Structures are given as C-alpha cells and as structure tokens.
Amino acid sequence: MTETLPVERDLRRVIGDGDTQPDGEVDGLDDADLVELFRQLVLMRTYDERSLVYHRQGRIGTYAIFWNHEAMQVGVVCALEDDDWIFPSYRESAIGLLRGMPADTILSWWRGHPAGWWNPADYNVASICVPIGTHVPHAVGLAWGKKLRGEPTCAVAFFGDGATSEGSFHEGANFAGVMKAPVILFCNNNQWAISTPLEDQTAAETLADKAIGYGMPAVRLDGADVLAVYEATRDAVAQARAGDGPTFIEAVTYRAAPHATADDPRLYIDPDRVEEERQRECVGRFEGYLRRRELLDDDLAATIRDEAAQVMRDAIAKAEAEPDPDPELLFSAAFADPPRSFDHDLAELRRILAGE
C-alpha cells in the first residue's frame, strides 16, 4: 500500500539561487540532456512570447498565455516515454512542440483554422481541453485502458488550481485511485483562476491534500524549477509503471502574466507580487543553473534563441499561408458516415456562398 499521509508542506527544489541556496543534482540527466532541456524551455518561451505579439498584430485569436509555466511542461515531458500520453489544458496548448508537433499546427489552432486539427494518436497528445478539468477522466481512462491491455503506458493530465474545484477532477481522481490507473495528475497551481485567488477556490491548506481522499500520494514542488518537476514526474512514472497507481503533483508557481489575451489582471492582482515572480521566472533560473555548471555560454544561448525565433517565423508564415478552409469541413469530420442530410446542407450552402 502506498503511503499517502501526511502530504508534504515544503516545496521540492533542485535549482539553487546562485547565492545562499546551493544547486542540487538529479539522476538520469547528463550534460547534453540538460542543454536539451534549456533548448526546449527556450522554444516554449519563444512560442509564448511570439504568440502574444501575433495576437496583438491580429494574426491569431484569443490566446492563453503560459509564460513562466514552461518548466512544468518541459520537466514533465522529459520524464515521459514517447508512448506515454499527455492530456493538455489550454494552458499547455503548445506542449505538442515537445513531441515534434509543428508549431504552425498549434498556431493554426489559435487561428481557429482546421489546419490546427491533429490526430492525438500521432503524438500521443490529446486535443487541447478547453472546459476546465473535464479531460482528467480521459487521462485516467486512457491509462486504465492501456493497463488492461498489459501495455506499460502512462498518462499525464495537466490542469490548474481552479480545476480542483470541478466535479470532473474529483471523479477522475477517484477513478484513478480505484482503478490504480498509471496516471499523473499534474496540477499547475499558479494561484489564480482568471481573477479568483486560491483562497476563494479552496479551504484546504494545500491542493495536494485532496489526493489523500483518493488514496494517492502527492508531491509539492516549485513549479518554476524544471529539474524538480522532472525528478518528481520521473518517480511518479516509475511508480505508475510498477503498478502502484496514480500520483498527484502540485506544482506551485505564481501567474506572472494575464490569464489570456482578453484578461486585464491590473483589476485584481498585486503588481509588486507579479514583478517579484518575474524576477525568478523559470527559464532564467535554469539558464543560471547551466551557466554555473559551465554548460552554457553566451554564444550557445544566443544560438538556441535564434533557432527558436526562426521556428516561430517559419511557423506563422506557414499558418498564414493556409488557404481558407472549405465549408465541406463543417460536415466531413463529425461522423464516420455523415447522414445524407449533410449532403443537402452542403449543396445548399455552396449554392448560397456562390451567390446563386
């Protein structure tokens, strides 16, 4: 029986502050892996920052910013095998980049274009879940279903602090515990659900406490520490593959950017607290770690940033070059064998669109 009590209160950290807090080390990552982690962090950061610009330029629609959430996404995916499944919320919209998904696919999704469709099985990345927490049972079902087939696959569901108030989270977590599903419930606790702070979301001392009720162990860590995320996920994956069931990971950070492009956090958030968080943001912290270990210098950092910028320039050009979608796509994807009424609807629509 896995020990589930008590939930730890301290946040796990690996990366030091370059001053009084020393750097730690994690097993399983060599120097090249560490530099690759940085490359991925920079790619994600660049995707996010460029997307905000593209939104302001009117080149993509409403966009959910994930600035300073990159370490959670990169650290988790690094600890998975390619066969393991990822169930993202909109906060992890670009996580497919870490599985080889083209950036223009994701930009197309935010452009509301069907070129943003992907087959989840191509990347083992589920579609972006827009309603809050409703994908938690999907991840649990996938993990349970793979286990029933005798496959060693795990699944990870990403969700925010607000999602822990949703019934879907609780039902999914309960199924995960009962079925001993090889799943990781990864809570990105950035302490804000749009304008609602954590204290209005829950009376629990920590979100990790909720795991106790579902018979699963929980870990709390610094969500801006990519190595702490990696280490905890790696251990949770090992436990899941060993047949010991799910783990809840509460990654604590602070939302240092608006919820989305349509949000104005000046109405509710303390700007000093945001500034403090921006000073300890996750990409810079890991860059400091690598420089202290002399794995990164100015030239390499610049090369990595230039490569990421080029990826985004190419991606937005490709996304914008997509022709307007044919109205046929309205009808063709909803059913394997669309009803005959769709033929009639499409023919009539084409006639009217043609001005006949």
Partner 1 sequence: MSELTLVEAINDALHVEFARDPNVLVMGEDVGRVGGVFRATAGLRESFGVDRCVDTPLAEAGILGTAVGLCMAGWRPVCEMQYDAFSYPCLDQLINHVGRYRWRSGGKMEFPLTIRMPYGGGVRAPELHDDSPEAYYVHTPGVKVAIPATPADAKGLLAAAIRDPDPVVVLEPKLHYRTLRGSVPDGEHVVPLGRARVAREGSDVTVVAYGAMVPLAERAAGALGSEASVEVLDLRTLKPLDEDALLASVAKTGRAVVVQEAPRTCGYAAEVAAILAEKAILDLHGPVLRVTGYDVPYPYWKLEDAYMPSVERVVDAVRKLLAF
Minimum Å gap between C-beta 142 and partner 1 is 4
Burial of residue 216, with CB atoms counted within 10 A of its CB: 0-12 exposed, 13-18 middle, 19 or more buried: buried
Minimum Å gap between C-beta 318 and partner 1 is 17
75 binds partner 1, rule: CB under 8 A = no
Q: Among 16, 24, 145, 152, which residue sits at the site for partner 1 (rule: CB under 8 A)?
A: 145
Instruction: Round to whole Å and give the CA distance between 229 and 189.
Output: 13
Burial of residue 141, with CB atoms counted within 10 A of its CB: 0-12 exposed, 13-18 middle, 19 or more buried: middle
Q: Which of 252, 260, 183 is nearest to 11 (CA)?
A: 252
Q: Which of 97, 71, 8 is nearest to 312 (CA)?
A: 97
- Catalytic residue, chosen from 12, 220, 259, 285, is 259
Segment interacting with partner 1, rule: CB under 8 A, options 9-17, 130-138, 247-255, 257-265:
130-138
Which alpha helices (H) appear in 25-118, and where do they start and end?
31-56, 70-78, 103-110
Cβ proximity to partner 1, 168 vs 239, nearer residue = 168
Specify whether 255 is catalytic: yes
206 binds partner 1, rule: CB under 8 A = no
Q: Among 55, 138, 210, 234, which residue sits at the site for partner 1 (rule: CB under 8 A)?
A: 138
Which residues 169-198 are close enough to bind partner 1 by CB under 8 A? 171-172, 174-175, 178-179
Binding residue count for partner 1, defined by CB under 8 A: 44
149 binds partner 1, rule: CB under 8 A = yes
**Rg of the Cα atoms in the chain:** 21
Which residues 100-129 are close enough to bind partner 1 by CB under 8 A? 114, 117-121, 126-127
CA 188 to chain centre: 9
Q: Which two tokens stand for residue 186?
A: 């990864």
Q: Among 25, 82, 205, 337, which residue sits at the site for partner 1 (rule: CB under 8 A)?
A: 337
Residue with tokens 């989305």: 260
82 binds partner 1, rule: CB under 8 A = no
Instruction: Round to whole Å and give the CA distance between 286 and 276.
Output: 17
Instruction: Round to whole Å and give the CA distance between 75 and 73.
Output: 6
- Catalytic residue, chosen from 268, 273, 293, 344, is 268
242 binds partner 1, rule: CB under 8 A = no
Instruction: Round to whole Å and give the CA distance between 116 and 107.
Output: 7
Extract long-range pairs of 332-336: CB within 8 Å, 24+ residues apart.
Answer: 333/114, 333/117
Specify whether 268 is catalytic: yes
- Which string of x and - marks every residue 296-335 that binds partner 1 (by CB under 8 A)? ------------------------------------xxxx
- Residues near partner 1 (CB under 8 A) are 85, 114, 117-121, 126-127, 131, 134-146, 148-149, 153, 155, 167-168, 171-172, 174-175, 178-179, 332-337, 339-341
Provide the annotated active-site residues.
255, 259, 268
